[in-house]
Each structure stands twice: as structure tokens, then as C-alpha cells.
Structure 1
Amino acid sequence: MGTIAVHEFIALDGVYEDPRWTFEYGFDPKMGETLGAITGASTAILLGRTTYEMFAPAWSTRTVEDDPGAPFFNDTHKYVVASKEPGVAWGPSTRLPYSADAIRGLKETTDGTIYVSGSGTLVRALLRDGLVDDLHLFVYPVARGTGARLFEDDGAPTRLALKEHDVYDNGVVHLTYGQA
């Protein structure tokens, strides 16, 4: 049975939207090691349609020489949670309508980790339905003030248990949470 590992870059105030603001902090090599460990254990990718459509043009032309993560993103089977077919095609992929039962079925038929990045609407639903096994938050030392937040203002409380934490030289803190 598979597990779901979510990875998000967020600000102190929970903003995850359009993470170009993270560039000013640089990318600590130890962050790459952490992300490599997460993706290295992954045998499938689960994305919301919008994130899939944003990732496809960014990753589909990259090679291992451009980015060591390119083979993972391009060759790993992607499950796209969407009510309609995505507007782009990218590597091996399957559209999957969202339901807690459909995601549980995916977990039951997947060996290894199912990796999720971005996909805020999907991640909120997975958290609400108790389907996230590992929530990896890379928290940047800035409060954005505006932008989509991972946890909605009117959402139900989400209780989590801290599993691990790391602090990187660029000021980013990596927090790994599991179900409480």
C-alpha cells in the first residue's frame, strides 16, 4: 500500500501561491537532498489539473543535465485530479476525478510513495479527508500578506503531529508532519 507525501514551499503566513518569491532565498543544497529523498521514494505523482498544466511545459523539455529531478517528473506516472481532461499532455498520465475513495484506491494499488507538489485545492481536500501521510512544509522566513494560503481561513481545524524538522542555511525550515 502506498503513502501520500505532500511537498509545499510556503511563507510564514501560509501563502504558497506562485512560489517565485522563494528565489531570493536561494536553494540550499540540503533542501535538494531532502526533496531528492522524498521523490526517490516515490513511484507516482498526484497533481491537481492546474499544477499539472503549469508543470508540464516547465518540466517536459528538461533533461537530467538541466535538472537532476527531470527524469522523475517526466518519466513517473502522473495522476491528475480533474473533472475534465487537462489542456496539455505530459508523459505517462491518467485523469482521476477526486473522491476520497478514488484516492484511497490509488494508495491501495501503489507500491511506494505518491508525491504531491503544489496543487493547493487538492492538498486541502486530501488533508480534510485524512489522506496525507507526510506533509513536508518548506517554510520561508517571510510573511507575504496576500496570496492563496494552504490552510483556508474558514476551514476546519487540521491536527497534525510533527515527525521531523530541519533548518537550512538560507533560513528555510523544513517541517514534516503526519496525522495526529
Structure 2
Amino acid sequence: MGALRVHEFTTVDGVVDAPMWTMDYGFPDDLAASIGALTAPARGILLGRTTFEMFAPAWSTRTVEDDEGAPFFNDTTKYVVTSTLTDTGSVWRNSTVLGGYDADRVCALKDEVGDLYVSGSATLVRALLADGLVDELHLYVYPLAVGTGIRLFAEGTAQPLALLGAEPLSNGVVHLTYGPAAA
């Protein structure tokens, strides 16, 4: 079975909503290398509908000259968890509708495809965490608090995790890696 790795940009107060605030910190080489190492083993990208709708226009026209991550995002098959979209392939090549969220279908996909990468997709990630399907949660914590916005962990959520790694980056961001807590 493949591993499911989640990548989130977050603030110190836990906001993951449309991270435009990342622009102020740049995208230095060590951040690019960290994310590259995270995406390298992925054989598929799993996205929620909202993130797919934000990523498709942003990534579908980019080339490697624009962004070294473009080949990964454009060439890798994207599986979109949605009960409302029916045709994602015409919007962004190599995209397919997985259907509404179903933990068993995600497990089957991990078996069929291998390693999966998830970026953003807070609603989807909450469900994956609740169902114990996330093997690695990669939080890129930006040194600011924004006060409001979508948080990865909704009010009242209890989610035990085990720290697997901590890596300070040159732009003040800290890359924290968590896995499932030991039972």
C-alpha cells in the first residue's frame, strides 16, 4: 500500500485558508527542495474540489520554465474528491473524478496507485485524518498569525499526532512532519 502525504501551508495560529500570505516570505531553494522531496515519491495527487478549482487554472498553463513544480502538477494523475464535478479532465489534463469522499475508495487508490500527495484540501484532509489515512502530515508553518480563516483542525477537534521531524527553513518557515500517534 502506498503512503498518503499531506502538505499544508499554515500560520502559527493554524490558518490554512488560501495562503496568499506566503508571498511575503518568498520561495527559497531550501523550501523548493523540501517540497520536491515530498512530491518525488508520489504517483498520484489527491485533491478536494475547492483546491482543484483553485489549482487547475494556476497550474495547467505553467511550464517548467515558469515553475520547476509544473511537470509534477501537470503530468501526474490528479484524483479529485467531489460529488459535484463530473468532468475534470477537460479543465486540467490528467485529472479524474474520484466521486464523493469514501475512505474505502481512498484505501483502494493507495493500493492501486501507490504513494499519494495531497496539497491544501482542508475539508478532505480533515476526513482523511479522522479516518487514520494520513501517513505523513507536512505542515509548513509561517511565522505570522492572521486571526481568521479556515483552520486545518476545526474547533473541538482532538487529533493525536507523533512528531517525525522539524526543519527550519531560510525564510523563517518551519517544516514540521507528523505521523499517526502510536496506539
Q: TM-score, normalised by structure 2?
A: 0.94
Tell me the number of residue pairs that the alignment of Structure 1 and Structure 2 aligns. Answer: 178
What letter is aligned with 1:175? L
Matched, 1:109 2:88: no
C-alpha distance 21-86 of structure 1, shift in aligned 2 (>3 A):
farther
**How big is each residue's C-alpha offset from its partner over 1:73-96, in whole Å with a ceiling of 9 and x where there is no partner?**
011000000002257521112211
Do 2:7 and 2:139's aligned partners in 1 also have CA atoms closer than 8 Å?
Answer: yes
Aligned pairs (5 A) from 1:74-93: 74-85=74-85, 89-93=91-95
**How big is each residue's C-alpha offset from its partner over 1:142-175, in whole Å with a ceiling of 9 and x where there is no partner?**
11100110110132x1011011110012110000
CA distance in 2, matches of 1:60, 1:169: 29
1:105 is paired with a residue whose SS is: helix
CA distance in 2, matches of 1:26, 1:33: 14
CA distance in 2, matches of 1:5, 1:86: 25
5+ residue gaps, structure 2, are: none
CA distance in 2, matches of 1:43, 1:20: 27
What letter is aligned with 1:63? T
* RMSD of Structure 2 on Structure 1 (CA): 1.1
What letter is aligned with 2:96? T
Matched, 1:172 2:173: yes
Task: Among all aligned residue pairs of Structure 1 and Structure 2, give the percentage whose two residues are the same amino acid.
Answer: 59
Matched, 1:95 2:125: no
Do 2:80 and 2:97's aligned partners in 1 also have CA atoms closer than 8 Å?
Answer: yes
Matched, 1:29 2:29: yes
Aligned pairs (5 A) from 1:50-61: 50-61=50-61
C-alpha distance 86-171 of structure 1, shift in aligned 2 (>3 A):
farther
* Map of 1:124 onto structure 2: 126
2:43 is paired with a residue whose SS is: strand
Do 1:52 and 1:80's aligned partners in 2 also have CA atoms closer than 8 Å?
Answer: yes
* Map of 1:16 onto structure 2: 16
Do 1:53 and 1:86's aligned partners in 2 also have CA atoms closer than 8 Å?
Answer: no
CA distance in 1, matches of 2:103, 2:81: 11
